[in-house]
Structure 1
Amino acid sequence: MHAVWFDAALQAELECLSIFCSVCDWTGPLKIYQNHIDQNHVDRFLICSLCREQVERSKILEHYMTETHQSRLLNILLHLQSIQIKNDQQQQQMRYSQFHDMISILSTDIALLDIRVEQIQYEFYSHQQALQLHTYKLLLLKNLIREVVNYLYQTRTIQDFCMREVLSLEHHFDQRHIISFDGILKWKISNIQEKINDAKCERQRSIYSPEFYTSPTGYKMRARLFLNGTNDVQDTYISIFFILMRGEYDAILKWPFHFKVIFSLLNQLTIEDDRHHLNEFFWPDKRSICFQRPHLEMNNAYGIKKFISLDKFQQNRDQYVQDDTIFIKVEIDFLSIPPENRSDAGEMLMIDEQHVDTEEDDLMRKILLSRGFNDN
């Protein structure tokens, strides 16, 4: 005899089977059939739906346990199970076919991917070699650029040096044409407003005149102009100073320098009439280092701090300034005899406004001052 086991899934399917009532016209699912019998046919005979036997209602449970009914039920269960197994086999066969087809497709794709991977690896190695070559070329190019930059820098340095030399030679050549050898300097200062602004902003506080001489073998000199004043008269006066320079013939000249120095701001509206020019002068202080024989390129400056007030200059601007240009005349008076008591306004420029020296020049200047020369 076959073994019997409980199948919950099959039980659920059986309960949902639609059946007919053997006593009346009722139809419905098997799971509520018993309720229908209990409610409507308690005292009647029943027809077993499986074995088709007529059974008393009260003995239906006993009938269910009979060998005939159990055998019939077992056959039905085995039949349903075989159907289920067949359906499962068909579904598995279908899934197997799908998996087989998918595996075939994937195998083809994998083969194609393997080929593509080999191509990519080959391309990668090719690009890697090309990158290494480009990196090497780039390194060479960087070194070449560095050498070119260094060369250009050296060339620019040489070019700047040559340009400065050319400008220096041009300036020297121009100066040789306009240089004065009679002790009189007529100094033309263009772009005067720009220079005044530079002095006020302290971009360039002072400007130097061209060099001039008392004679071809005489004293070498120049002037220095502060357009916004200097030291305690800054922002209130224009200051002007006289500077002795080291010359080629200093060894045969008389020292200290002792001639009267006259500064003139020329009135351009009445240029022929000297009375309308602004004139100031000073006599050299023979005790001052400013008038001793120069041991440096330039001696300390000596002159007039209060040459002209800025207010007066602005009030008479149309007289002194034409075409944004002024003219200053510096004259060495060889004929005048110095008075016993000096009454001019001359004084030495403050130390902090003196020329910017090299370390050697600065040391020499200090040595000269320490020798006991009067600096007033």
Structure 2
Amino acid sequence: MAVTIQVLASVSQIAGAQWGLVTTAQAEREGITRLQLARLADAGVLERVDRGVYATTAAPTEHRTLRAAWLALDPARTAEERLADPVAAGVASHTSAAGLHGLGDLLDDTPELTLPHRKQSRRGVRLHRLPLTDADVTLVDGLPTTTEERTVADLLRDGHDLDHVAQIVGQGARRGVIDLDDLTEQVEPVARRYDQPDGRALVEHLLDLVGLSRTALVRMLADSAEGRELVAAGRASALSDLAASFMPEIDTARLFGLDKIAANTFAGIDVGKILGMTELFNITLKPLHDQIAAAVSPQLQSALAITNTPAFRSVLQATQSPAVKAAQQWLGSDVGRQATQAAEEAASRSEGSGGAT
């Protein structure tokens, strides 16, 4: 009985540092025989989860098969020893990595592991031999795992359905856990396989499949209330500029009531916050603006050009202010039209007088 307690204590110490799992090779290093492990399993103290791998009753069940498969790659060494060089230790990748990252809905019941060197394959495990760098690997719950960006590239390289991979990219982009620039570099080698000229075009295509490309975001913004306000503000700005061009003596800022709200200039529309994708919009905001400008009618393109300036923010706020609404009503009234006509005539006389001089 004392021997069994000592064996159990040794097994628990090993397993406690690696998700409640222990291999027969690790146990043998501590003087524990395979027969003793088998007896503990028969007694219900341990559970055999893979060839040469046992789990304690307290071991978490989530991703247990994958963790057992990783331990079985080098069963004599502990997880702590192997993590000193995570790249060489073997890395959870492909569908297994996507599952660990919580991205997409790919079936990940077969453990997939990548190593930079040749390793004899095992039944029930998919082994990939691919070059890896330290930058390609991160730890997820203590298990070496390919990064989100490398995982996407590996899935594309392996020929997975493009729509399924796009879902992973979309979820990662929304959560802010995928760096689109890094992803662009990662998928560059496989871009032409998917009929795309380069990595950037492939990333844009993946985003478009889930409605997050620049083109899709333009459509989404155009259909939103904020997008309509953007266009309305552009029209108001164009009207102000037009008025200034033929009424140089008129203070158009005062006319439209902008002087009254200049001190309250707001910080601008946070499109990312509106659509719940701030990180993604931080990356795509400038190209998004360019596409909006290209999509609208020529009459509005000049107005939308000012959206990069602080003045635009004032105008956008102004379009919603009582002062501007009052000014618009005044311009539409008989008195307003008469005043506008008088201002135009005054401007013409002034221009003619200047020419005579």
Which TM-score applies when normalising by structure 1? Answer: 0.18
Which structure has the highest helix share of the two? Answer: 2
Which structure has the highest strand share of the two? Answer: 1
Which TM-score applies when normalising by structure 2? Answer: 0.18
Which one has more relative contact order, counting CA pairs under 8 Å at least 6 apart?
1
